[in-house]
Amino acid sequence: MRRSFFLCLFCALTAAAFPAVAASARVLKVLPQFLDLNGKHTLSPSLFERDAYQAILREHPERRSGLRFDVWWKARGPARAPLKLRLELRGTANGQLPTQMVLETEVKPGFFSHWVSLPMTGEEFRKFGEVTAWRATISEDGAQLDEQKSFLW
C-alpha cells in the first residue's frame, strides 16, 4: 500500500514538473538597408563594401528605390500556433501626424536561426518618408515572445 502511494505521488509530481512547453523565440538582430534603383543593397558580398554603399545611399535619396529590413530570429520547441514576425515602423511627420506602417510575415520554428527579409518598396516607400523608429516582435497566438526595437522607439 505504501509503495503504490509513493508511485502515484511520484507520477503526479513528474507530470507537474514537465508541463507542455510552447515555442521559445528570440529576435536576434534587425538590419535596415536601403535598396538602390536596381533593388540591390550592396555591390559585392563584402561587409565593408555593403556598409560603404549604404552610406552612399543614405547621402543620396534619389538613388534609393526602397528599404529592406533583414531580421535574424530563432525559435525552438513546438509551436501551438503559427509564429508571426511583425515589424512596426514610424516615419517622419508629413503634416501633423507621423507615418506608420506594419510589415508582417509567418515564420516556422526550427533548430537553427533564420533570416527573413521584409521589404518596403515602390509607392509605399515614397509615401512613407524617412524611417525614424522601428520595433520587431515575434509572437505566438497573440502572445509576444520577444522584441527588439530601435533607440527612438
Domain that holds residue 71: 25-35+66-149
CA dist 52 → 4, 35, 56, 74 (Å): 72, 13, 7, 28
- Asked whether residue 13 is domain-assigned, the answer is no
- Asked whether residue 105 is domain-assigned, the answer is yes
- Asked whether residue 12 is domain-assigned, the answer is no
pLDDT at 144 > cutoff 70: yes
Mean pLDDT across 58-87: 91
Domain count, the chain: 1
- Asked whether residue 53 is domain-assigned, the answer is no
- Asked whether residue 2 is domain-assigned, the answer is no
Condensed to tens digits (0 to 9), the pLDDT of residues 17-40 reads 555 555 688 999 999 999 999 999
Candidates 78, 131, 136; CA nearest to 109 is 78
Condensed to tens digits (0 to 9), the pLDDT of residues 78-89 reads 778 889 999 999
- Asked whether residue 88 is domain-assigned, the answer is yes
- Asked whether residue 96 is domain-assigned, the answer is yes
- Asked whether residue 6 is domain-assigned, the answer is no
- Tell me the CATH number at 128: 2.60.40
Taking the C-alpha atoms of residue 44 and residue 87, their distance in angstroms, rounded to an integer, is 27
pLDDT band at residue 64 under the 50/70/90 scheme: very high
pTM: 0.78
